[in-house]
Chains A and B, each alone.
Chain A
Amino acid sequence: MKKLFAYVALMLHCMWCFAQKDTLYLEELSIEDGRLSVLDIGSSNQHLSSALFQNYSGKNLSDLLQENTGIYVRKYGGEGQLSSIAFRGTTPNHTLITWNGIDINAQTLGQSDLASIPAYLFESAEVLAGGASTLFGGGNIGGSINLKQPSQKEGAGFSFDQEIGSFGRFFSGVKSHFGNKKVMVNMSAFRNKIDNDFLVNYRNDTYRQNNAQSILQGLQTDLSYKINKRNTLNTQLWYNHHDRKLQPTIGDLTNDDHLLDRNLRLLVGHQWNSKSAILKSSFFHIRDFQTYNHASETNLTRNIAKVDFEYFQIDKVILSGGLVGQLAHTDVDNFTTDTSQWKVENYVLAQVNPLPKLKLSMRAQKSYIEGLEVPFVFGGGAELSVVKQQKTELITGVNVSESFRAPTLNDLFWSPGGNPELKPERGFHSELFFKLTRQEKQQTFRVTTNLYQTKIKNMIQWLPMSSASDQAIWSPENVRSVRIRGLEQVISYRYAGRLTFRAEATYSFNQSTNLSAIAGNDLTIDKQLAYVPFHKLASNASVAFSGWAVNMNYSYTSRRYTEASNRLYVEGFGLFNTILSKSLSTKSSQFNLSIKIENILNNDYQNYELRATPGRSYILKLNYKISNIYSE
């Protein structure tokens, strides 16, 4: 296997050549065969591991995804600034972020700001692509990201995290858990401040970035009570408070735009389970509050009731179905009146394994949304184990699915311009994948390749509606059609002996072509959508030995067009980060100290057009963890 090492080294070297000045590291992103795999037979499912979340504990989902997945995150400057997602060649409105199976995207704007989702409160996440990625809702034309909370454990533990770093970074966080056979409690809280006062080159001089401070704070609790063998009660709370100044464009020294977000998410649930069935009933109360420049307010309250039922025989059949009802109420300054919207959604899903090597799934979903005609959506997939030997397995799969995205509340009710006549967008997906795994005693090698196509119809676009008598008013219309063709490739290698070595690279290619003309002289037909890079690479390599660990991370994002005719663009950029850490452990406690260097090569780049980004920066991090207080 020495040779294999050499090839991995060569691979890394190739990346070095390609980037000319950067290199890479890789954190294991194993493909999980968990319960959720029932959703996406024949489709892509990437697991973002707890080790990865630990490395990003003082950061938010924005950098975690941009630096470790094939997803492109459009970030408006420094850390904590607005960050929106382009998953599989789609726009930020096309990815759902879910918490306990519920869509937490802002219902007004229809997207999530990844900078407001702290990595600290979550243990891991699943990245699911395409129409097969959720059972409820829709909005997942690109896919969905399902956040996973820390699992509950018996015993008692405590951990403390502290980070300091360049550009006014100061992070503090505490986590604790307590549990016995009846009651389990998890609690976490954190505060993350960064000033983003990095140097900006402008007018042949430099200045310190102004108006870019971000303070994100949050807490989460998770309490379970086991009534008896079959019945459990659970309540969860997640409160988020994000107070930030909005980083202006380069050279704008006077702007003082400010955004405050507060989100309260509460869940009360009951779970009944037997050997072959689970029934989950949950009630959610979700409040989203946003104020822009201390004046323009957006208030949204949602009450959601949800029931899921699942029947299963291990390795043979899974049948599930669910029903959810939501009532949303808005109090938005830019809507003429306070508005309510109800929706009811349900799904049925079946997975059968007719042969040991074959898995099949079928799904049907129907939503009823006030004032909208939502079509039935169907999907199905198949997975076949083509080669299964002692050490080598090759699986291939196909998936065909439909999806939709309902118009957002802004699309419908914004004043002026909201258009209540809008129809939902439609997505049509097809996908083919291959997964090759080779396992030896201490080594695992895996290659996954996904080829996919998505067509989006009735895509909503805001257009100017000026007429000779009024100012330019923009209004949304179902005018766009888009075809996306793409490829995702994940290669990973892992060696676990006295020394652990891991390397992984994720590459994605997305050609997102606009097929529709909107007005005369339309220059955008057959052009790539704005801010969808053709190429995205994220790669990691790490070595761990005797409590010491070194991680290297390299990510590259190719040119993004800044407008739809593809004349103007921002250059591609590569970033190289590294972490060096040392752990000391006793029987039940662990002390970890690490230093992270970001943008090691001090690249001057722009992710979003004309928003400055930090140069080389340093983060010093300390983690102290007591795994079980009682055993001390």
Chain B
Amino acid sequence: MNLKRIQFFLFLFALNLFIGCSDSDEPSLAPVASVVIINEGNFSAANGSFDLYNKTSAEYSSNAFQSANDFPVGSTIQNAIISGDFILATTNAVDKLEIINKETFESITSVTTGLHTPFGVAANNEYAFLTNWGTFNSETFLYDNPEIITINLATFQISSTLALNIQPQHVVYVKDRLYVSDIGNYLSAGTTVSVYQINEGTLQPESTIDVQPGPDKMVIDANDNLWVLCSSGALVHIDTDKNEVVNTIQSVPVLGFNEKLTIDPAGTYLFWIASSGYPDYNSAIYRLEIANPSLSEPIIEGTNFHGLGVDEDNIFVGDHAAYQSSGKVLRFSDYDSAPKLIETLPSGLAPNGFIFR
């Protein structure tokens, strides 16, 4: 072999190296975007994220929190809401409430100490209220010491902790009261919604309302009344003046756990997801008109539906891609008549909800 051949091999080799060198395409931040996609992420990898989408310009940017802060938001993002200038997000890896500037996505601070598997979040002008499942017990596979934690949104300090004797799921704030769905656990489902009065950052139990097994997601309608979707397959309408059940719709198709119930901004239609589960993950979106609450056929059918959001024009559906990869988002028009698929957007891991700025 002569030197020319050696030269040729070295050239081949150097070529290999250059093939290995490719630049990344960093997404740019588009803080004006109206739609925020919440990607819950994978617990062990702490890779939850927020993606942004501008419906007008069709600009899309992924991982807005990481881009704005240069550190990750964590996993799993259980729930996120807008409260004043903030986005409040509960995460479980690590357990925290992340308080985020709604416009820039910069982290204002996070509250970690004292939280134990925070899940649901609600807020008024002064306080954020977090349901906490408690500490996971690896022997019983249940959560011990569930609680509701109140955080002062001026000081970002915990102002009170209320111990519960049942695992809570979601929390909503309406008419100066807090409504908490007492979901229980897989051995023993809860059957109540608890009502609490708020007194300078501390909670006083006021009453409990009997609903159906597994009360989960709750929304407030145009009349400030409460709708509770129970994972046993019931939709319960509660009058928040009397704290009484007005109507219970039975045999409602649901997901079975971690229900996704939402309402349009006008408060006139309820929307939720039902799934057939493995192996087909046949999913459907159901709609119920509050003025005429009778169950009808699904308005959207598909697979792998995981997150749901409705703004003034569109229905957004998050697709978890069988948890095998990043998911995607389906955007539909005509939420109040016959929805049509307008476009499909990318998403992060397990898009489980949307907020609209």
Binding site for B on A (CB under 8 A): 3-4, 7-8, 10-11, 14-15, 18, 201-204, 248-255, 293, 295-296, 392, 436, 438, 445, 447, 461, 463-472, 475, 489, 491, 505, 507, 509, 518-524, 527, 534-535, 537, 556, 558-559, 562-569, 571-572, 609-610
Task: Please measure, in the bound complex, the distance between the C-alpha atom of A468 and the C-alpha atom of B16, giving whole angstroms.
Answer: 51
CB distance from B252 to the nearest CB of A (A): 11
The reply to whether A564 and B17 contact each other, CB–CB distance below 8 Å, is no
The reply to whether A296 and B278 contact each other, CB–CB distance below 8 Å, is no
The reply to whether A491 and B13 contact each other, CB–CB distance below 8 Å, is yes
Best-surrounded residue of B275, B279, B280 (most CB of chain A within 10 A): B279
Q: Quick one: given A202-B71, A251-B46, A562-B45, are A523 and B326 in contact (CB under 8 Å)?
A: yes
Query: Of all chain A residues, which has the CB nearest B283?
Result: A520
Q: Quick one: given A467-B277, A467-B278, A562-B47, are A535 and B328 in contact (CB under 8 Å)?
A: no
Query: Of all chain A residues, which has the CB nearest B254?
Result: A468
Extra pairs beyond A559-B24, A567-B325 (9, CB < 8 Å): A249-B93, A251-B46, A252-B94, A447-B9, A467-B277, A467-B278, A491-B10, A572-B20, A609-B46
Q: A202: which B residues are within 8 A, CB to CB?
A: 71
Best-surrounded residue of A251, A470, A521 (most CB of chain B within 10 A): A521
Q: Is B139 an interface residue (CB 8 A)?
A: yes
Q: Is B298 an interface residue (CB 8 A)?
A: no
CB distance from B4 to the nearest CB of A (A): 10
Query: Of all chain B residues, which has the CB nearest A393?
Result: B1
Task: Please measure, in the bound complex, the distance between the C-alpha atom of A534 and the C-alpha atom of B19, giving whole angstroms.
Answer: 10
The reply to whether B349 and A563 contact each other, CB–CB distance below 8 Å, is yes
The 9 closest A-B pairs by CB, nearest first: A565-B325, A520-B303, A535-B20, A249-B46, A467-B277, A519-B322, A564-B325, A465-B278, A567-B326
Q: Is B31 an interface residue (CB 8 A)?
A: no
The reply to whether A489 and B325 contact each other, CB–CB distance below 8 Å, is no
Query: Of all chain A residues, which has the CB nearest B138?
Result: A295
Binding site for A on B (CB under 8 A): 1, 3, 6-7, 9-10, 12-14, 16-22, 24, 44-47, 62, 69-72, 74-75, 93-95, 107, 112, 138-139, 186, 233, 253-257, 274-282, 302-304, 319, 321-328, 346, 348-349
CB distance from A374 to the nearest CB of B (A): 26
CB distance from A351 to the nearest CB of B (A): 29
Name the contact of A392 in the complex, choosing from B1, B17, B139, B324 (C-beta under 8 A): B1
Q: Quick one: given A466-B277, A467-B278, A520-B281, are A11 and B10 in contact (CB under 8 Å)?
A: yes
The reply to whether A559 and B16 contact each other, CB–CB distance below 8 Å, is no
Q: B93: which A residues are within 8 A, CB to CB?
A: 249, 252
Q: Quick one: given A250-B46, A519-B280, A523-B321, are A489 and B13 in contact (CB under 8 Å)?
A: yes
CB distance from A520 to the nearest CB of B (A): 3
Q: B254: which A residues are within 8 A, CB to CB?
A: 468
Task: Please measure, in the bound complex, the distance between the C-alpha atom of A37 and the C-alpha atom of B254, giving whole angstroms.
Answer: 60
Best-surrounded residue of A472, A520, A527 (most CB of chain B within 10 A): A520
Query: Of all chain A residues, which has the CB nearest B115?
Result: A254
Task: Please measure, in the bound complex, the distance between the C-alpha atom of A11 and the C-alpha atom of B10, giving whole angstroms.
Answer: 7
Task: Please measure, in the bound complex, the distance between the C-alpha atom of A571 and the C-alpha atom of B328, giving whole angstroms.
Answer: 22
Name the contact of A564 in the complex, choosing from B139, B255, B324 (C-beta under 8 A): B324
Query: Of all chain A residues, which has the CB nearest B141?
Result: A471
The reply to whether A471 and B257 contact each other, CB–CB distance below 8 Å, is yes
Q: 20 pairs across A/B with beta carbons < 8 Å?
A: A15-B17, A18-B17, A248-B94, A249-B46, A254-B112, A295-B138, A461-B324, A491-B9, A519-B280, A519-B324, A520-B281, A520-B282, A521-B302, A521-B303, A562-B47, A566-B325, A568-B326, A568-B348, A609-B47, A610-B45
CB distance from A86 to the nearest CB of B (A): 16
The reply to whether B325 and A558 contact each other, CB–CB distance below 8 Å, is no
The reply to whether B71 and A203 contact each other, CB–CB distance below 8 Å, is yes
The reply to whether A4 and B6 contact each other, CB–CB distance below 8 Å, is yes
CB distance from B268 to the nearest CB of A (A): 27
The reply to whether B46 and A465 contact each other, CB–CB distance below 8 Å, is no
CB distance from B328 to the nearest CB of A (A): 7
The reply to whether A469 and B256 contact each other, CB–CB distance below 8 Å, is yes
Q: Quick one: given A520-B281, A522-B324, are A436 and B1 in contact (CB under 8 Å)?
A: yes
The reply to whether B71 and A505 contact each other, CB–CB distance below 8 Å, is no
CB distance from B58 to the nearest CB of A (A): 18
CB distance from A365 to the nearest CB of B (A): 32
Task: Please measure, in the bound complex, the distance between the C-alpha atom of A253 and the C-alpha atom of B303, giving whole angstroms.
Answer: 38
The reply to whether A18 and B20 contact each other, CB–CB distance below 8 Å, is yes
CB distance from B5 to the nearest CB of A (A): 8
The reply to whether A253 and B94 contact each other, CB–CB distance below 8 Å, is yes
Q: B17: which A residues are within 8 A, CB to CB?
A: 14-15, 18, 507, 537
Q: Quick one: given A251-B46, A295-B138, A522-B322, are A438 and B94 in contact (CB under 8 Å)?
A: no
CB distance from B207 to the nearest CB of A (A): 30
Query: Of all chain B residues, which has the CB nearest A493?
Result: B6
Q: B44: which A residues are within 8 A, CB to CB?
A: 249
Task: Please measure, in the bound complex, the distance between the C-alpha atom of A564 and the C-alpha atom of B326, giving whole angstroms.
Answer: 7
Task: Please measure, in the bound complex, the distance between the C-alpha atom of A535 and the C-alpha atom of B14, giving whole angstroms.
Answer: 13
Name the contact of A295 in the complex, choosing from B71, B139, B186, B348 (C-beta under 8 A): B139
CB distance from B110 to the nearest CB of A (A): 8
Q: B346: which A residues are within 8 A, CB to CB?
A: 567
Task: Please measure, in the bound complex, the distance between the C-alpha atom of A203 and the C-alpha atom of B74, giving whole angstroms.
Answer: 12
The reply to whether B256 and A466 contact each other, CB–CB distance below 8 Å, is yes
Task: Please measure, in the bound complex, the distance between the C-alpha atom of A38 and the C-alpha atom of B253, giving whole angstroms.
Answer: 62
Task: Please measure, in the bound complex, the distance between the C-alpha atom of A303 and the C-alpha atom of B346, giving whole angstroms.
Answer: 51
Task: Please measure, in the bound complex, the distance between the C-alpha atom of A295 and the C-alpha atom of B323, giving whole angstroms.
Answer: 28
Task: Please measure, in the bound complex, the distance between the C-alpha atom of A472 and the C-alpha atom of B275, giving whole angstroms.
Answer: 12
